[in-house]
Amino acid sequence: QVQLQQWGAGLLKPSETLSLTCAVYGESFNTYYWNWIRQPPGKGLEWLGEINHSGSTNYNPSLKSRVTISVDTSKKQFSLKMSSVTAADTAMYYCARGTLVATIVYYYYMDVWGKGTLVTVS
């Protein structure tokens, strides 16, 4: 059964760069999209971006200038970097596996999630 294990610095100062990594255990790395999502305290989920095994990325347009997602297929890991953080970036950050179905019908879902990493900017 696939599991995602994520890690990274939990306390940052304003203007620093957030860096998180997510490792995939127990499943093929290919054919999926690998996502980062965040959730500020008491608020909803916000998608940050995704990457596939070949390194193709998509980003949330509102954060695109600050977010970079990369992949290391040899280690089955993908990473998030967010530059110039402020207090508004304080949130729980999740990694998640995404599946896109685009045949006769179209849908996308994220069925495996990491446990989350709380990042505080202060």
Burial class (CB in 10 A: 0-12, 13-18, 19+), 26: exposed
Tell me how far apart the alpha carbons of residues 33 and 108 are, in angstroms, rounded to a whole number.
10
Provide the minimum distance between the beta carbon of 101 and other proteins in the complex, in angstroms, as a whole number: 7
Decide: is 107 part of the binding site for other proteins (CB under 8 A): yes
Considering the rule CB under 8 A, would residue 8 count as an interface residue with other proteins? no
Contacts with other proteins: how many residues (CB under 8 A)? 27
Site membership for other proteins, residue 21 (CB under 8 A) = no
Q: Which of residues 37-96 bind other proteins (CB under 8 A)?
A: 37, 44-47, 50, 58-61, 94
**DSSP track, 40-55:** -TTS--EEEEEEETT-
DSSP characters over 96-120:
EEEEEEESSSEEEEEEEE---EEEE
Closest approach of Cβ 107 to other proteins, in Å? Answer: 4
Residues in contact with other proteins by the rule CB under 8 A: 35, 37, 44-47, 50, 58-61, 94, 98, 100-102, 105-111, 113-116
